[in-house]
């Protein structure tokens, strides 16, 4: 009896000692303990997500993949699996489980070092949110005290919600919802019982029990958890048996973009970092862009197919490498090192037959057939101007061991292809407010992150001429003005330099109307216009369209488009022609929301006025907004509170743009853009552009809905080919995009402004036509203008011009 009393009092003394120790530790450490209340407002790291204007995912940026989930949305079976694995006494303890601690202490005594911490889920919450992973008695004591505080201030459901959203579960997945997406490609609400048990087994050791890295150990732990659930009565025997027999079917799933718009994603990311710094990656911002998913996919298709069509027109450059004499295993290993570029898959030729070739692809174990019909284009490439003879059989094109590219067709067959050497860019804007509706910065982002739409400064060629013509129409010229299309020679007597500009066709038409000169793209007329207007004054005028004066050469070659400008800058300038004379600024971010759905920012760009706003001609102060710097520089920021719509600044007389629009429509009806007539629309206007030796090919065009610019060329400038022009390379891409974008949309062009007259003109003299004049035509004029006389045809100066050539500032010829 005395012995029993002794042991009883000993136990009481031990517990009293523990209580006194914890009490003393609490009194000593409590002033330095963090506030548990902070857990209620904790901000978990959530990645930045970028969406299209129709709410489709474009991209996700951030180290931690996390999608927080509310406790009410967690399946009960997952809670049971988690508690069975980590803390089956969770419902009964107050943050600390003495039994678990005693087991941990016993392991310490036996092994001499800490093997497990005896931690409850509450203690793990305390450690994950407030402490480090250091294994020490002082840290464990602090963890225990924090767990006791957490249990007093939070409910069990709140504790579990914090835990399941915080824990790391391997492969950059933080929280159970992210883990379900990473390993199974679906929500935790949709996974099976066996899959829940697998995820519940990860917190103990995410690397050791990872189903991708260690499937056998992962299955072993999963089955142990299922056994615990059955033993504790959480699942039936039938459920247990079915789950145990389910194969381990985890695979790696990354967030799959619903829209292929990597250049758009990068632009949005850069702007968010500029605004929020590194917090952009962790604060869970949701960014909605101005880009509709359907228009972006149309732009992708147009540019990709256009570049591949051009590329195949110039022949086959041969395999990317030759790997003859190797085994299929070696070939398969080599293919793992190759990336798919856009839709072009790497493949190795394994057999050459009469009706085609057989290839091994990166993702397939079986050889696949590539038909001879898809290979007939592959004439040997010599240079951009010449090719070898047409191939007559597959062996003329490919050999066993060739590393080539194939394109998978909708019926899953393969088409012989190659990665284009030429590059391109496409920009499409809403001319009414500057919203970017689609943008492609190159053939493939994975091939090159260089965004040519924003960063590639190239000469625009004749697609720049409308800016010179706009200056002329705003300074005394009319569409009927006659200018002499005749040879001209410029001599610099000090440098002994001679410049003899010529037309593309090397022909001369004599006195010609401005309208005809534009749609026939007569170089000599453009030069004479610039000479008469004055280079400096013309540069001052053109810079209003948003161009940097430093990029505009101060000589007569400016008339031929020798400025160095980006596709974004050209599209921005052309928007003024499309919207009736207003300056817009491109922008990409339409809205920013917080992790909680709170609206932080709504774009409010200056926009083209309508109705009564347009009649007063007064521009309201521009509201700050996120804007795209056409040269890839920093963006401006904006207030979060939406403001009244700002009115864009008018920079060109609306009558000028109306007349110029009519002239640019003739480029498509009668001139170098005639191919676009195939679209069957009456509201399109545009202009081709080709630089010397065809190093750059452009097409810019619009209706009132979209203004779109396409550039094509090589990154390191070289000729696209002797017979390649803006109308053969860039225009087909523009047509493919605009045809799809405007399908089923009614014609839409700028309305006729007040002060426009339509008068009959004598085609020979350029004067007002008298009744019965043969060939007389109607031309558009501003109300204060009259048809021009022909008094000064020789030097091409229109009567009434305020900027005669002899008043122009001195210029450099070259």
Four-residue CA torsion sign, 498, 504, 505, 507 = negative
Residue 669 near residue 523 (C-beta atoms within 8 A): no
H helices of 185-244, where? 193-200, 215-231, 237-244
How many C-beta neighbours within 10 Å does residue 278 have? 8
Give CA separation, 812 vs 159, 328, 454, 522, 533, in Å.
76, 64, 29, 22, 15
Residue 182 near residue 65 (C-beta atoms within 8 A): yes
Residue 440: exposure state from Cβ atoms within 10 A (0-12, 13-18, ≥19)? buried
Residue 501: exposure state from Cβ atoms within 10 A (0-12, 13-18, ≥19)? middle
Please give the torsion angle defined by the CA atoms of residues 227, 231, 232 and 237, in that order, rounded to the nearest 10 degrees. Answer: 80
C-alpha 285/C-alpha 346 separation (Å) is 37
**Euclidean distance between the first and final Cα of the chain, in Å?**
117
Residue 332 near residue 360 (C-beta atoms within 8 A): yes
Active site residues: 86, 462
C-alpha 167/C-alpha 176 separation (Å) is 8
Nearest to 541 by CA among 177, 774, 803, 769: 803
The token duo for 620 is 């309201």
In three-state secondary structure terms, 109 is helix
Q: Are strands 344-353 and 356-361 parallel, antiparallel or unpaired?
A: antiparallel
The token duo for 782 is 């501003």
In three-state secondary structure terms, 732 is helix
Give CA separation, 799 vs 482, 530, 534, 578, 662, in Å.
10, 16, 16, 28, 22
Give the helix/strand (H/E) hosting 591.
strand 589-593
Cα 134 versus chain centre, distance: 43
Residue 580: exposure state from Cβ atoms within 10 A (0-12, 13-18, ≥19)? buried
User: 760: which DSSP letter?
Assistant: E
In three-state secondary structure terms, 603 is coil
C-alpha 267/C-alpha 384 separation (Å) is 33
Residue 344 near residue 406 (C-beta atoms within 8 A): yes
The token duo for 499 is 């410049």
Four-residue CA torsion sign, 387, 388, 389, 392 = negative
Non-local (6+) Cβ contacts of 576 within 8 A are 431, 545, 582, 583, 584, 651, 652, 657
Identify the residue whose tokens are 């399946």: 75
Give the helix/strand (H/E) hosting 98.
helix 98-111
Instruction: Give buried/exposed letters for 520-536 (b at 16+ CB in 10 A, else e).
Output: bbbbbbbbbbbbbbbbe
Non-local (6+) Cβ contacts of 696 within 8 A are 458, 459, 460, 461, 689, 690, 711, 712, 713, 717
The token duo for 671 is 């001139």
């Amino acid at each position: 009896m005395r012995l029993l009393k002794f042991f009883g009092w000993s136990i009481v003394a031990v517990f009293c000692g523990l209580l006194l120790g914890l009490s003393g530790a609490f009194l000593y450490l409590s002033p330095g303990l963090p506030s548990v209340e902070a857990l209620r407002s904790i901000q978990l790291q959530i990645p930045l997500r970028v969406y299209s204007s129709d709410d489709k995912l474009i991209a996700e940026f951030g180290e931690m993949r996390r999608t927080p989930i509310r406790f009410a949305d967690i399946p009960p079976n997952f809670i049971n699996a988690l508690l069975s694995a980590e803390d089956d006494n969770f419902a009964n303890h107050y943050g600390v489980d003495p039994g678990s601690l005693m087991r941990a202490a016993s392991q310490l005594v036996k092994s001499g070092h800490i093997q497990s911490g005896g931690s409850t889920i509450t203690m793990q919450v305390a450690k994950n949110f407030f402490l480090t992973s250091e294994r020490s008695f002082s840290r464990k004591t602090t963890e225990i005290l924090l767990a006791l505080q957490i249990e007093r201030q939070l409910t069990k459901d709140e504790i579990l919600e914090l835990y399941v959203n915080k824990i790391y579960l391997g492969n950059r997945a933080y929280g159970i919802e992210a883990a379900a997406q990473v390993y199974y490609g679906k929500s935790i609400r949709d996974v099976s019982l066996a899959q829940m048990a697998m995820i519940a087994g990860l917190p103990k050791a995410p690397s050791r029990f990872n189903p991708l890295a260690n499937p056998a150990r992962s299955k072993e732990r999963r089955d142990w958890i299922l056994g615990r659930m059955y033993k504790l009565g959480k699942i039936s025997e039938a459920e247990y048996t079915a789950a145990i027999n389910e194969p381990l079917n985890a695979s790696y799933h990354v967030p799959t973009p619903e829209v292929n718009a990597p250049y758009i994603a990068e632009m949005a990311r850069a702007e968010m970092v500029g605004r929020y710094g590194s917090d952009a990656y962790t604060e869970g911002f949701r960014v909605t862009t101005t880009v509709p998913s359907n228009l972006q996919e149309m732009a992708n298709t147009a540019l990709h197919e256009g570049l591949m069509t051009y590329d195949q027109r110039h022949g086959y450059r041969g395999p990317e490498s030759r790997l003859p004499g190797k085994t299929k295993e070696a070939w398969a290993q080599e293919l793992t090192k190759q990336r798919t570029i856009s839709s072009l898959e790497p493949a190795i030729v394994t057999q050459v037959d009469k009706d085609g070739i057989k290839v091994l692809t990166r993702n397939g174990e079986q050889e696949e057939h590539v038909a001879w019909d898809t290979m007939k284009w592959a004439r040997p490439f010599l240079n951009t101007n010449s090719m070898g003879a047409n191939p007559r059989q597959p062996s003329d094109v490919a050999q066993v061991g060739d590393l080539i590219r194939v394109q998978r067709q909708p019926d899953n067959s393969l088409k012989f292809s190659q990665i284009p050497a030429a590059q391109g860019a496409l920009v499409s804007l809403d001319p009414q407010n500057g919203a970017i509706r689609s943008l492609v910065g190159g053939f493939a982002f994975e091939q090159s992150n260089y965004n040519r739409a924003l960063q590639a400064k190239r000469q625009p060629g004749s697609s720049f001429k409308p800016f010179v013509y706009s200056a002329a129409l705003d300074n005394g010229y009319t569409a009927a003005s006659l200018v002499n299309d005749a040879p001209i020679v410029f001599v610099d007597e000090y440098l002994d330099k001679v410049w003899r500009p010529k037309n593309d066709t090397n022909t001369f038409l004599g006195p010609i109307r401005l309208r005809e000169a534009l749609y026939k793209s007569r170089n000599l007329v453009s030069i004479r216009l610039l000479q008469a207007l004055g280079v400096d004054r013309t540069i001052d005028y053109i810079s209003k369209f948003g161009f940097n004066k430093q990029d505009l050469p101060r000589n007569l070659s400016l008339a031929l488009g020798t400025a160095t400008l980006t596709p974004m800058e050209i599209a921005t300038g052309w928007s003024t022609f499309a919207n009736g004379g207003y300056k817009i600024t491109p922008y990409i971010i339409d809205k920013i929301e917080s992790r909680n759905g709170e609206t932080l920012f709504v774009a409010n760009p200056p926009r083209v006025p309508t109705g009564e706003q347009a009649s007063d001609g007064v521009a309201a102060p521009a509201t700050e907004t996120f804007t795209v710097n056409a040269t890839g520089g920093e963006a401006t920021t904006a207030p979060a509170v939406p403001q009244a719509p700002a009115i864009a600044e008018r920079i060109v007389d609306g009558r000028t743009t109306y007349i110029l629009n009519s002239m640019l429509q003739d480029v498509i009806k009668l001139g170098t853009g005639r191919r676009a007539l195939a679209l069957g629309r009456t509201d399109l206007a545009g202009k081709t552009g080709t630089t010397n030796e065809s190093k750059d090919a452009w097409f810019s065009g619009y209706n009132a809905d979209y203004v779109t610019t396409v550039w094509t060329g090589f990154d390191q400038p070289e000729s696209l080919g002797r017979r390649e022009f803006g109308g053969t390379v860039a225009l087909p891409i523009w047509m493919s995009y605009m045809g799809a974008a405007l399908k089923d949309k009614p014609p839409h062009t700028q309305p006729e402004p007040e002060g426009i007259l339509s008068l009959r003109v004598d085609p020979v003299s350029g004067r007002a036509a008298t009744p019965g004049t043969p060939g007389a035509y109607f031309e558009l004029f501003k109300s204060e203008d009259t048809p021009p006389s022909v008094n000064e045809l020789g030097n091409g100066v229109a009567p009434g011009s305020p900027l005669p050539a002899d008043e122009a500032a001195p210029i450099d010829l070259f």
